[in-house]
Amino acid sequence: MTADMFPSGLIQLPLRIKEQRPLIHNMTNVVVTNFTANGLLALGASPVMAYAKEEVADMARVAQAVVLNLGTLSSELVEAAISAGRSANDHGVPVFLDPVGAGATAFRTEAALWILREVRVSLVRGNAAEVAHLIGESGAIKGVDAGEAGNSAPADLAARAAHHLGTLVAITGQEDVITDGTRGYLIRGGHPMLTQVTGTGCLLTSVIAAFGAVEPDLLSAGAAALAYYGEAAVRAFERAGMEGPGSFQIAFLDALSVMDRHPLEEGTITALLESAGRGFVQ
């Protein structure tokens, strides 16, 4: 599916975010809080960072999306995340899980699985190794950063995870894929400079949540978010990337703020079709 075949209403999602200014409740990690808040503000959303167990259920109830990020992890955070997630479930608010570092330690993996057992998660976004560990498949991972998961094609891994976890799954890397296990999209774009700025993956999950907050078709909304995010990175590098990661970070926030002015390039989003149980084909 090329960009010009993608539903026109979804191409306009960045403008809808600016018009609706959805409240995104982020339970994210201390490393990326400022960057995530500024990224959502640039996009046109309204971020709130609330973590206290005494208030997260109330905050989730009034939000348009809830993001649970496990970057700086503790038992208290997991308990609060479950409280927020359950409240979101009770009030029809979509929940987005970023299982940062799943597989790096047993605690991280079990924390993510605990949340998935207790909360109806709408979408899981991670790298291939994180997603593989959530479904019991081996994959090399170092620290909490991106890793590959054996030789499994990301699209097929994402489809297995979607079936196993009962949620949409987005795997991000050199190319991104998002699927419900049957339908899926491959997204090309982005820039390697994203890996030189901490928190770009965490912000991406929150950006997907912002798109999902204004579009109930979360699969298509997620694909659009991934595509626009990648194109913002390309524009940021063209403007300031040669200066280094600091300049790139500022240019990237600027690029997020004008996404509504730049329609997607043709070929950015490709529809994936399940081939009789033998995996995805383009």
pLDDT digits (tens, 9 = 90+) for 143-198: 444 455 544 589 999 999 999 999 999 999 989 999 999 999 999 888 999 999 99
Please, is 142 exposed, middle or buried when counting C-beta atoms within 10 Å of its C-beta (0-12, 13-18, 19+)?
exposed
**What's the whole-model pTM score?**
0.91
pLDDT for the residue numbered 140: 46
Question: What tens digit of pLDDT does each residue of 243-273 get?
Answer: 899 999 999 999 999 998 887 776 678 876 5
Which segment of 2-6, 92-96, 135-139, 219-223 scores lowest on mean pLDDT? 2-6
CA–CA dist 274, 251 (Å, integer): 38
The pairing of beta strand 183-187 with beta strand 269-274: antiparallel
CA–CA dist 68, 70 (Å, integer): 7
Domain count for the chain, please give it. Answer: 1
Identify the domain containing residue 225 by its residue range: 3-281
CA–CA dist 166, 80 (Å, integer): 22
**Which residue type occupies 151?**
N
What φ, ψ does residue 41 adopt, rounded to 5°?
-60, -45
Residue 159 and residue 152 in contact, taking contact as beta carbons nearer than 8 Å = no
DSSP 143-180: TTS----TT--HHHHHHHHHHHHTSEEEE-SSSEEEES
pLDDT for the residue numbered 267: 66
**CATH number, position 23:** 3.40.1190.20
